[in-house]
């Protein structure tokens, strides 16, 4: 079965990280997000993948090429104007002549796709929608079903009073190719708000596949950090975390003997960790330097950044090529690529600094 991954969105919920980088290749545990998705699909024998692209498509193609070294075969189709979730798949219709899988490009999950495909075939469905439970369904699309998992209705972003279930659309679908005939060409069209309700109104067999496997939409900075915490704590079957106090270290990295590790820590290649540094539940990207006395806790640092002496970095995301000068304090912040934080500057919770900007003491 072929898979279509929707990677055309602008990733506005992840700004400033996605100011000049597509959401689908932001690093997760120092690996581009899509690489995790490719590995996941390959375990279910799905290796023919079409990337429906739009915003910042070139970096994705440059990194993954034909996909061979990642165990998949990739085809790239770029839309000239935003076409919505269903319109983007309509745009690749010429490559889809059999049942196919669709995934939103910001979903990390352990859901059993093989079982979902089997369920789709048994039910002779036109569309099968994966469902996942969430604590607060009001930010998502609810899918209501009968006891046989036949879909009875849809409700987008309900109020708490309207929420009759906590099972939401998980952004993973199996579709028959003929349903694409219901989508107008070169028109912005949505699966959730337009195509699926249309199919249901016409009596087409629409089914749900409920699952309690690990699932997260990592499309916000909060969920991006949560994904790292979850993976480091072993909540996904796709990653075996180090034991607490253990460091996973890339090649050519140096860690000073006096550096202290608490919890689980991953360090990329070519990094330098200085004396008396404290690392706790952190992911450090390749080529990064963390200098003497710095404390890095529950944070994600991308590549080629410098964390200066006595810096306190907590609960934050630091993109590539950032410099945190000596004595700065950064808590609960998001720094875009190339940001420089002045010495002794204090950035409080919720601060977001756009790429290639400098935060001085007066801004802290």
- Cβ-based neighbours of 346, under 8 Å, separated by 6 or more: 328, 329, 364
Q: What is the model's pLDDT at position 360?
A: 56
**12 vs 64, residue with greater confidence:** 64
**Tens-place pLDDT, residues 168-179:** 899 999 999 999
Q: For 82-102, write each residue's pLDDT tens digit.
A: 899 999 999 999 999 999 999
pLDDT band at 190 (very low <50, low <70, confident <90, very high): very high
Per-residue pLDDT tens over the stretch 213-261: 999 999 899 999 999 999 999 999 999 988 887 788 999 999 999 999 9
| Mean pLDDT confidence for 172-192 | 95
Could you report the per-residue pLDDT of 307-322, keeping only the tens digit for each? 999 999 999 999 999 9
User: Is 157 an active-site residue?
Assistant: yes
What tokens does 167 get?
């099972």
**CA distances (Å), origin 230, targets 110, 223, 233:** 12, 10, 5
Q: Give DSSP secondary structure letters for 290-340.
A: E-TT-EEES-EE-SS-EE-TT-EEES-EE-TT-EE-TT-EEES-EE-TT-E
pLDDT band for 165, please (50, 70, 90 cuts). Answer: confident
Q: Which residue has the higher pLDDT, 54 or 48?
A: 48
What pLDDT band is residue 344 in, cutting at 50, 70 and 90? Answer: confident
For residue range 103-149, list pLDDT tens digits in order. Answer: 999 999 999 999 999 999 999 999 999 999 988 888 777 889 999 99
Residue of 157, 280, 352, 357 marked active site: 157
Cα gap 151→168, rounded to integer Å:
12
């Amino acid at each position: 079965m072929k898979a279509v991954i929707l990677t055309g969105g602008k990733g506005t919920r992840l700004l400033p990280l996605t100011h000049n980088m597509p959401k689908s290749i932001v690093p997760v545990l120092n690996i581009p997000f899509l690489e995790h998705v490719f590995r996941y699909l390959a375990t279910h024998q799905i290796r023919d993948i079409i990337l429906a692209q739009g915003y910042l498509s070139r970096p994705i193609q440059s990194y993954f090429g034909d996909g061979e070294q990642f165990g998949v075969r990739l085809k790239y189709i770029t839309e000239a104007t935003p076409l919505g979730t269903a319109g983007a798949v309509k745009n690749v219709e010429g490559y889809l002549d059999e049942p196919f899988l669709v995934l939103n490009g910001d979903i990390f999950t352990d859901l059993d796709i093989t079982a979902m495909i089997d369920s789709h075939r048994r039910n002779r469905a036109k569309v099968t929608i994966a469902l996942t439970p969430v604590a607060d369904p009001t930010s998502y699309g609810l899918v209501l079903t009968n006891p046989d998992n036949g879909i009875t209705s849809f409700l987008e972003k309900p109020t708490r009073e309207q929420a009759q279930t906590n099972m939401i659309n998980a952004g993973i679908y199996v579709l028959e190719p003929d349903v694409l005939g219901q989508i107008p060409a070169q028109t912005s069209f949505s699966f959730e708000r337009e195509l699926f309700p249309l199919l249901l109104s016409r009596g087409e067999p629409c089914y749900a596949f409920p699952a309690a496997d690990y699932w997260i939409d990592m499309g916000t900075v909060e969920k991006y950090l949560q994904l790292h915490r979850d993976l480091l704590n072993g909540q996904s079957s796709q990653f075996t975390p180090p034991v607490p106090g253990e460091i996973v270290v890339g090649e050519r990295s140096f860690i000073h003997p006096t550096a202290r590790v608490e919890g689980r820590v991953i360090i990329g290649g070519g990094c330098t960790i200085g004396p008396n540094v404290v690392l706790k539940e952190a992911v450090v990207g390749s080529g990064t330097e963390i200098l003497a006395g710095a404390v890095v806790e529950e944070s994600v640092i991308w590549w080629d950044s410098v964390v200066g002496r006595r810096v306190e970095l907590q609960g934050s995301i630091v993109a590539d090529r950032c410099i945190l000068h000596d004595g700065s304090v950064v808590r609960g912040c998001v720094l875009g690529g190339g940001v420089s934080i002045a010495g002794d500057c204090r950035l409080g919770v919720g601060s977001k600094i756009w790429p290639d900007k400098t935060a001085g003491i007066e801004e802290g």
